[in-house]
Amino acid sequence: MERETRKLIANNKKAYHDYFIDEKYEAGVELCGTEVKSMRMGKCSIKESFIRIENGEVFVYGCHVSPYEKGNIFNKDPLRVKKLLLHKAEINKLLGKIKEKGYTLVPLEVYFKGGRVKMEIGLARGKKLYDKREDIAKKDQRRETERNFKVKNLG
């Protein structure tokens, strides 16, 4: 069996800063032809996007796919609501978790896998301000130790 290659289109670093990601899921994205062509050129942003479950279906809002230059009349609205394709059991599991206090769904990255556009979504809990400060402090500490280590090894 050959290994599927993943070609990253867009990722959402802010999600890792603002949320604790508990579980990750892979979902297909329902797109039209010109949107796929635009994504092949890397014209996609998920920084401001969020996910909702409505009537047993999962939708992503605010996912910006720039119009394809050669697409003329076939281009869709760049901020069009896109349907995510998940199994019914996964949707029901996510719905149960979201009803718990503090859980939400956030898009983490969009990528090509075997010629199809996939979105990795995370079941996330919001971070408090002190959690974010703690993460920043840890990052600074790690950077400082790496810098000191590098200076010792070079000198």
Residue-wise pLDDT for 17-48, tens only, equals: 778 888 888 888 887 777 777 778 877 777 88
- How far, in Å, are 46, 48, 100 from residue 13 at the CA level? 10, 11, 25
Helix, strand or coil for residue 109? strand
Instruction: List for the chain the helix, strand, coil content (%; round to 5).
Output: 35, 35, 30
- What is the pTM for the complete model shown? 0.68
**The predicted structure's pLDDT at residue 1:** 45
Residue 2 has pLDDT above 60, yes or no: no
Q: Which CATH superfamily is domain 6-127 in?
A: Small protein B (2.40.280.10)
pLDDT per residue over 126-152, tens digit each? 777 777 787 788 888 888 887 777 777
- In degrees and rounded to multiples of 5, residue 11 shows phi and psi of -135, 165
Six-digit token string for 55 = 């009537």
Contacts from 80-83 at CB under 8 Å and sequence distance 24+? 82/29, 82/30, 82/31, 83/29, 83/30, 83/57, 83/58, 83/59
Six-digit token string for 149 = 């280590």
Is 124:106 a contact under the CB 8 Å cutoff?
yes
Mean pLDDT of 82-109: 83
Taking each continuous run of H as one helix and of E as one strand, the counts in the chain are 4, 9
Mean pLDDT of 39-58: 81
**The predicted structure's pLDDT at residue 3:** 57
Mean pLDDT of 73-98: 79
